């Protein structure tokens, strides 16, 4: 399918030559473009195997792998804006659980996917590894 320029008209970061990294994930908006195949379900997966952040208590670095999987509806996430969003955690103090849920919320807000899942696999510190998974829509039944 030939590229329809209207699909990408709102993208800003991809066209920029010089970009300053954002100081925190709260300052980043994910950019999206039109899904060329909204009539079918298909999975898109992003992998960030060199994810870094810092512990909000100790200030020590945390390392891990973040995987984002989603079935797009009308919009797809532009990868350069996602890269800047993920880089914005480098000097941002946050726990693993917060990071995974913040990434999921940002993906859902920007792209409004049919389904999404974010998996964070963090390198052990003190002998314990942490793996966090968050899904949209939330399929866990309420206990209330």
Indicate which residues carry an active-site annotation: 55, 62
Integer Cα distance of 57 and 105 in angstroms: 23
Integer Cα distance of 116 and 104 in angstroms: 7
φ, ψ of residue 33 to 5 degrees: the values are: -140, 165
- Give which of 31, 52, 45 is closest to 106, Cα–Cα: 31
Integer Cα distance of 24 and 89 in angstroms: 6
Integer Cα distance of 63 and 35 in angstroms: 32
């Amino acid at each position: 399918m030939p590229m329809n320029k209207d699909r990408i008209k709102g993208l800003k970061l991809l066209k920029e030559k010089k970009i300053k990294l954002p100081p925190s994930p709260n300052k980043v908006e994910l950019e999206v473009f039109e899904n060329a195949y909204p009539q079918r379900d298909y999975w898109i997966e992003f992998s960030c195997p060199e994810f870094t952040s810092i512990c909000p208590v100790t200030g020590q670095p945390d390392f891990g792998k973040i995987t984002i999987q989603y079935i797009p509806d009308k919009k797809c996430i532009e990868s350069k804006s996602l890269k800047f969003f993920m880089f914005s955690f480098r000097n941002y103090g946050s726990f693993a659980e917060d990071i995974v849920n913040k990434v999921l919320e940002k993906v859902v807000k920007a792209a409004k996917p049919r389904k999404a899942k974010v998996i964070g696999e963090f390198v052990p510190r003190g002998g314990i590894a942490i793996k966090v998974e968050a899904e949209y829509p939330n399929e866990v039944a309420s206990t209330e």
